[in-house]
A and B are shown apart, each in its own frame.
Chain A
Amino acid sequence: MNSTSLIMMIGTLSIVSIVTFYFFYKAFTTPSEMADDGKEEITRPDFT
């Protein structure tokens, strides 16, 4: 591979990989309960 292609490839792949893993690491290590635990306010009011 020529050096310009190599720089473009490694640069792009590194940026995308590092940012992706940063967000994934953050999402994995930040606790968040998505399921409805019944303690939240009613979000689907019934007007009938």
Chain B
Amino acid sequence: MSTNNDSWGSRIGLILAMAGNAVGFGNFLRFPVKAMQNGGGAFTIPYLVCFLLMGIPLLYVEWASGRFGGKHGHHSTPFILGSMHAGRIWKYIGVFGIFTNLAVAAYYCYLESWTLSWVWNSFSGVFSGKSQEEVTGVFKSYVSLDGPMAIITWVICLLLNTWILSKGLSGGVEKVAKIGMPLLILFGAILAIKGVTLKAGENGALHDGTFGLNFLWNPDFSTIWSPKVWLAAAGQIFFTLSVGMGSIQCYASYVKRKKDIALNAMSAGWMNEFVEVVIGSCILIPIGIGYLGIDKVVEMTKTGGLGFGFQTMPYLFQQWGGVFSIIAGVFFFGLLFFAGITSSLAMCTPCMGFMQDEFGWSRQKAAWAFGATILILGLPTVLYFNEGVFDEYDYWAGDVSLVIFALFEIILFAWVFGMKRGWDEMNEGADIKIPSFMKLIIQFISPLIIGFIFVMSLPDLWKNLSDFSSTPKVVARLLLLALWLAIAWLVRTAYYKRKREGRYLNQELKF
């Protein structure tokens, strides 16, 4: 029945694709801003603690669950989770693993298209000689759809994603990761060196690059006991590692039964940390503070790093003058594009895997159907960006859904599937020894941390749910609800189809 015969071509391709899934805009635009807002250098303590106690355990759980599901012929979370326990609820929890990817991809591809446009704008000199206000004007005009460029680039991005996906894992996704990730690191390293070696007085810089680094890393230890800081650190770990989405399970489901997941998971996870902490911290803040000073950067990044990255960085690169200002713009937005596309490709594969596994669709058909779905789902985020539809998608799919799914999946893995079986699954074919204390962390500490994050986010969730002030935002919320219900209906249909055909979710335990 399944037409899904894809597999990874090489270990390095798998690691780079997984790292590419994790490395995204958050590494360059979100992490430095979050660190700056939450105690500077002291933020790295809760950040690394959350990475060790929540990020790494979730990586192990998702890789192990994915490979387990793959053994039973599943490549998306509804039936990956469904194959781990006979309870009917789990396949509906797994719906989040498709929902999140579809909803996030819907607005993420639009964001990705901004980077492509900004590469072109940097290259063609659109930002040349413009003041910072004028660059902001270019951005505002772009998202207000004053010209056709936003729509055209967005459609190009969708077509590019769809075309790569139609080439399969080793022929498409893996090739893009093998080209994109090294280029991303190269571009990032060049910009980081330039950022750190910035000299006061040169090309109008107010401060040395190290002045910005000093501000970013100066620890305010009084913040370390603040729950807000811990919540921000845990949120950043979720955001940066792409855990709780369902895409890691999908990629891992294509790993063969006795092949390593332990070392691969650590290589990909730590590579993401390297890009985020080492490269990500050396670009935005040192360059921003170097030219604009601390107060202005703090003020401009209050709403996050996205606006700063697209509205201010092009202006700052112009200060370098000549060819290097063009190169810097192309490199910065180029690295964001590679970070974006390797992530959006990962978001697409669970939905494709589901349609191939359950309805016998060909890879090409699944890829083009996915492209069409994203076009329809993403249209409101493009047309009503200024009305907050983009943020509404981001909140429900990119924040809430991740935490709910992660909480349930770790409970399933540690307490329902059973820690002993889970531990055996993690260690099967492992090329490294997983420390035995990880068992305790997965069983007790990680669920408690994720539960804490969920409880702490409830007031915010209620506030957003009961906000009916904007019609486009309410419609977006209803659209997302309809999407979740539609996926749940497809899962139910596929389940009964399996039952009629006598195909078990777990062929060993026969349920």
Interface residues of A (CB under 8 A from B): 1-2, 4-6, 8-9, 12-13, 15-17, 19-20, 23-24, 26-28, 30, 32, 34-36, 40-41, 43-48
Taking a contact as CB atoms closer than 8 A, the residue among A6, A15, A23, A47 that contacts B1 in the complex is A47
Question: Whole-angstrom distance between the alpha carbons of A1 and B403 in the complex?
Answer: 38
Chain B residues numbered 449-500 whose CB sits less than 8 Å from any CB in chain A:
none
CB distance B210 to A1 under 8 Å?
A: yes
Q: Is B503 an interface residue (CB 8 A)?
A: yes
Question: Whole-angstrom distance between the alpha carbons of A28 and B170 in the complex?
Answer: 18
Q: Is B501 an interface residue (CB 8 A)?
A: yes
Taking a contact as CB atoms closer than 8 A, the residue among A12, A34, A35 that contacts B277 in the complex is A12
In the complex with contacts A19-B270, A34-B10, A4-B2 CB distance below 8 A: no
Contacts of A24 in B (CB 8 A): 15, 267, 270-271
Contacts of A27 in B (CB 8 A): 11-12, 15, 263-264, 267, 431
Taking a contact as CB atoms closer than 8 A, the residue among A9, A20, A45, A48 that contacts B273 in the complex is A20
CB distance B501 to A47 under 8 Å?
A: yes
In the complex with contacts A5-B219, A30-B263, A34-B255, A13-B11 CB distance below 8 A: no
Taking a contact as CB atoms closer than 8 A, the residue among B9, B12, B71, B264 that contacts A35 in the complex is B9
Mask of B1-29 contacts with A, CB within 8 angstroms, 1/0: 11011011111111100000000000000
Question: Whole-angstrom distance between the alpha carbons of A42 and B11 in the complex?
Answer: 20
14 contacts between A and B (CB under 8 A): A1-B217, A13-B277, A16-B278, A23-B270, A23-B271, A24-B271, A26-B263, A27-B15, A32-B11, A34-B10, A34-B255, A34-B256, A41-B257, A45-B507
Q: Is B411 an interface residue (CB 8 A)?
A: no
Q: Is B293 an interface residue (CB 8 A)?
A: no
Question: Whole-angstrom distance between the alpha carbons of A47 and B13 in the complex?
Answer: 31
Question: Whole-angstrom distance between the alpha carbons of A32 and B429 in the complex?
Answer: 10
Q: Closest CB-CB distance, B352 to chain A, in whole Å? A: 15
Closest to B264 in A: A27
CB distance B274 to A20 under 8 Å?
A: yes
Q: Closest CB-CB distance, A11 to chain B, in whole Å? A: 9
In the complex with contacts A27-B11, A30-B263, A34-B13, A16-B273 CB distance below 8 A: yes
CB distance A5 to B217 under 8 Å?
A: yes
CB distance A43 to B277 under 8 Å?
A: no
CB distance B260 to A32 under 8 Å?
A: yes
CB distance B73 to A12 under 8 Å?
A: no
CB distance B1 to A48 under 8 Å?
A: yes
Secondary structure type dominating chain B contacts: helix
Q: Is B266 an interface residue (CB 8 A)?
A: yes
Contacts of B255 in A (CB 8 A): 34
Contacts of A36 in B (CB 8 A): 5, 7, 256
Closest to B221 in A: A4
Q: Closest CB-CB distance, A19 to chain B, in whole Å? A: 5
Q: Is B502 an interface residue (CB 8 A)?
A: yes
Mask of B97-118 contacts with A, CB within 8 angstroms, 1/0: 0000000000000000000000
Q: Is B86 an interface residue (CB 8 A)?
A: no
CB distance A26 to B432 under 8 Å?
A: yes
Q: Closest CB-CB distance, A1 to chain B, in whole Å? A: 4
Q: Closest CB-CB distance, B455 to chain A, in whole Å? A: 29
Q: Is B151 an interface residue (CB 8 A)?
A: no
Taking a contact as CB atoms closer than 8 A, the residue among B11, B14, B71, B214 that contacts A2 in the complex is B214
Contacts of A13 in B (CB 8 A): 277-278
Contacts of B264 in A (CB 8 A): 27
In the complex with contacts A4-B41, A47-B503, A9-B213 CB distance below 8 A: yes
Q: Which 6 A-B pairs have the closest CB atoms?
A: A8-B41, A44-B73, A47-B503, A34-B8, A20-B274, A9-B217
Starting from the known contacts A8-B218, A23-B432, 10 additional A-B residue pairs (CB-CB under 8 Å) come to A4-B218, A5-B40, A23-B270, A24-B15, A34-B9, A34-B259, A35-B7, A43-B73, A47-B502, A48-B1
Contacts of B217 in A (CB 8 A): 1, 5-6, 8-9, 12
Question: Whole-angstrom distance between the alpha carbons of A20 and B260 in the complex?
Answer: 17
CB distance B41 to A28 under 8 Å?
A: no
Taking a contact as CB atoms closer than 8 A, the residue among B10, B15, B214, B256 that contacts A5 in the complex is B214
Contacts of A46 in B (CB 8 A): 1-2
Q: Closest CB-CB distance, B36 to chain A, in whole Å? A: 13
